[in-house]
Each structure stands twice: as structure tokens, then as C-alpha cells.
Amino acid sequence: MSTLEKEQIISDEKKYVIGTYGRVPVVLVKGNGMSVFDTDGKEYLDFLAGIGVNNVGHCHPKVVEAIKNQAETLIHVSNIYYNVPQIELAKKLVNLSGLDKAFFCNSGAEANEAAIKLARKYAKANGKEGEIITMEHAFHGRTLTTITATPKAKYQEGFEPLPTGFKYIPFNDIDALKAGISEKTSAIMIEPVQGEGGIHPADNEYLKAVRKLCDENNIVLIFDEVQCGMGRTGTLFAYEQYGVVPDIVTLAKGLGGGFPIGAMVAKSEIASAFTPGSHGTTFGGNPLACASSAAALDVISELLDNAVEMGEYFKNSLKTLEEKYEFVKEVRSLGLMVGIELTFNGSDIVSKMFEKGFLINCTSDTVLRFLPPLIVEKEHIDAMISALDEVFSEI
Ligand code: PMP
């Protein structure tokens, strides 16, 4: 595609698409494994994987095959009928999660909406008032309820009045949480690794202590694994590494192998608070998304060892940069969920890395974020680190 066509696409986007995204001026037209390609055929190594969407890599052949086969068979009818891929996917997720029942939707925000609604319905049936506690610096989505669960002014301002019944507590602080709960508290929602908040993994013993607190006070524990789940941290669910199982887990992003799908998986006692008519969505659990997701889950299971090994290699490589450059404040990671905190805003570094052919981004202003596909190899990491070293050396 010529440059003119690229310019045309960018100006058409400005004219026809509502401007909710600050986009990088590139039009990506093709993806394969670790790589994506723009309209000029330039290749980029994707160290973001669509912010944790393409955990299996771009256009993984097994996912593509599953989508093709399903598209030729049945795309969707309606949730008023049964469909095979939905039930098969629910079985897989239940077997893998240690939980009992799944509900399907189309995004992370929707999965969190479902979790909050379910937790409230369950709590109210047990005489509680429905207050939900979430963590400072959390991110749970962009619907009205999930921006309320996300205690950051930039997401909330201008959208008031917001739903009531939310309370915010500092993350990784069990004493603050103990002090913050009350008779009203129905659920606590936590990302085991905060993503948008700047790649902050939960402390080792923190989630266990939260689990205990929830058990003692009949509070529903919800883990939002939309970003940190699906093999991202080296286990299918991040919570496996903490030796804790939540009452509800929410999933999206990597769950579909690139195809949109969200899920909420819950313990059956809690799940039974939803009965026919309580909740639903037209496209949730459609055969096409579920077939893609089932294939992605199989692929992810085979990539977990690589995610652990490459996560370790990545972290150690970044530590050399941490030692070399004073402006690197901290390297934080769990598996292939990796962040480098700088002493300044990282957006110029993101742009320079882009020019060199690497997709990364910056979150919470000062944290460079890396979420490569789980197929990443040493040579990709080495190439990225040496480009980053060059960019850092010019500062
Ligand atoms: N929860 C977390 C932890 C997320 O990182 C995100 C997306 N960044 C969401 C929820 C929202 O997911 P979606 O954009 O699919 O609605």
C-alpha cells in the first residue's frame, strides 16, 4: 500500500471515527507470530501483543484453523439455544481454574460488570448491602460501573453521576483492607498483577491474607485477570502462583487468541445467585469466539514453560539496563508481564522504540510496559534490549 493510501486512511479515520483513541500514526495490515507489518511493509516486533491480547502470537495457525472451521459451520444463533463450543469452553475453563461455572461475554469490562452484578446479587440474598471494595491504581474497564471500580479521576471525570457503593483501599496493604471492610462489604476486587497501574504484582503473602479476610467475613473475592491471566505470568491464571483461588475470576484479552471474548468463572454457590433472566448478552459465548478461545487455551498451555523461561531471561536482561542507567528506578515483572519504572515520562522512549521497529507502550506515565506474546524467544528479547539500550544511551 502506498504512503498516500496510508495518509488517506488516517484522514478518513479522523473524519469518520469518534476520536476516543490517541493513535500512533501507523496503519498495521498484517500479523504473524511476534511480528506485525505496516502499509509500507515495515516489520515491527510486537512487545505489547495488543496489551495482552495476542498471547499466542499473531494469527496462530491453530487459532486461525479453529476460526475458519467454525465460521464455515455456525457463527451464532442466540443464547436462547444451546451451542456446543460454548459448553466445551466452559468445561475447559472450569477444569483449569478450580472454579465451577462460567458466563461468557465480549470484553473485560463486561466480565467485570458481570462479576460485580453477581457478587451483589449473591450478597443481597445473604442480607448484605452490596458495597464493593477495589484497589487504588486499579483498572477494571470503561463502562460506567467499571470506571467507578477504577479509582482514577481521568477515567471518571465528566461521567457523573456514577453508580454508588464503591470504596477504594491501597493495594498490597492488608491492614488498610482490614480497617476498610465493614458489614456492608460484599466483595473485594483485585488484579493479582496491576497492569494499567504500572505493573505491580501483589506481594507474596498479600493475596492469601485477603483470601482469609474474605472467608472470615463472608466477602466475595474477585480477581480481575483480564490482563494478567491466560499465561501472561507463566501460569494460566496468575493466582496459581500465590496459592489462592478466588470466588470469581474475570478474563478477556488473551482468552480469545485475538478474537473478542470475555468470561467470568465463579464458584457454584455464588454463581447460583444468577437465574434465567438475571443477566445476559446477545453475543456472549457465540460459537466463533468460543472455538477461537478453546484453540487459544490449548496453545497457551503448551507455551507456559517458555513464558516462565523467557520471563526470567527478560527480567535479567532488563536488570543490566537498571544497573547501567540511573534514571531506571525499578524493574518489576511476573513472567512476561514486565514494567520498567523511569524517573520521567516514557512516551518519547516509546516513540523512539517504534521508529526502531519495536512496539511497547507506557502506562502510568513513567512505566514502560512489555507484554510480548508467549512465543517470544531469546533473539527477540536480545534485539529489543539492544534497541532500548541505544535509546537510553541517547538520553
Ligand atoms: N481489567 C483489566 C485488568 C484490564 O487491563 C482491562 C483492559 N486494559 C480491562 C479490565 C478492560 O478490558 P476491555 O478493554 O476488554 O473492556
Whether 139 is catalytic? yes
Please confirm, yes or no, whether 259 is among the known catalytic residues: no
6 labelled catalytic: no
* The pLDDT value given to residue 284: 98
Cβ–Cβ under 8 Å, residues 103 and 278: no
Peptide bond into 163 cis (omega under 30): no
User: 194 CA distance to ligand 1 centroid (A)?
Assistant: 11
Distance CA 73, CA 85 (A): 11
Q: Rounded CA gap, 345 and 225, in Å?
A: 27
Q: Which residues are annotated as a binding site for N(2)-acetyl-L-ornithine?
A: 142, 281
Instruction: Check if 139 has its Cβ closer than 6 Å to any atom of ligand 1.
Output: yes
Closest atom, ligand 1, to C-alpha of 196: 5
Question: Can you tell me the ipTM of this complex?
Answer: 0.99
| Separation between Cα atoms, residue 262 and residue 103, nearest integer Å | 8
Any atom of ligand 1 within 6 Å of the Cβ of 293: no
Predicted local confidence at residue 207, as pLDDT: 98
Residue 107 Cβ < 6 Å to ligand 1 = yes
Give the residue, out of 105, 193, 227, with the most ligand 1 atoms within 8 A of its beta carbon, to mutate for a pocket test: 227
Beta-bridge partners for 133 = 167, 188
Q: Is the CB of 109 under 6 A from ligand 1?
A: yes
* List of residues 6+ apart from 256 with CB closer than 8 A: 53, 289, 292, 293, 296
| Interval between CA 255 and ligand 1 midpoint (Å) | 12
Alpha-helix runs per DSSP H in 34-173: 49-52, 61-73, 84-97, 108-125, 144-148, 153-156
Name the pTM for this structure: 0.98
pLDDT value at residue 1: 59
The sign of the CA dihedral 200, 151, 350, 3 is: positive
| Three-state DSSP class for residue 262 | strand
Q: What is the dihedral of CA 214, 215, 216, 222, to 10 degrees?
A: 10
Mean pLDDT by groups of 10 residues along the chain of 395 residues: 82 97 95 97 96 96 98 97 98 98 98 98 94 98 98 97 98 98 97 98 97 98 98 98 98 98 98 98 98 98 98 97 98 98 98 98 97 98 98 96
In order, the DSSP letters of 339-375 are EEEESS--HHHHHHHHHTTEE-EEETTTEEEE---TT
109 exposure class (CB count in 10 Å sphere: 0-12, 13-18, 19+)? buried
Q: Is the CB of 224 under 6 A from ligand 1?
A: yes
Å from CA of 251 to ligand 1 middle: 9
Q: What is the pLDDT of residue 293?
A: 98
Structural domains of the chain, ranges and CATH numbers in brackets = 61-299 (3.40.640.10)
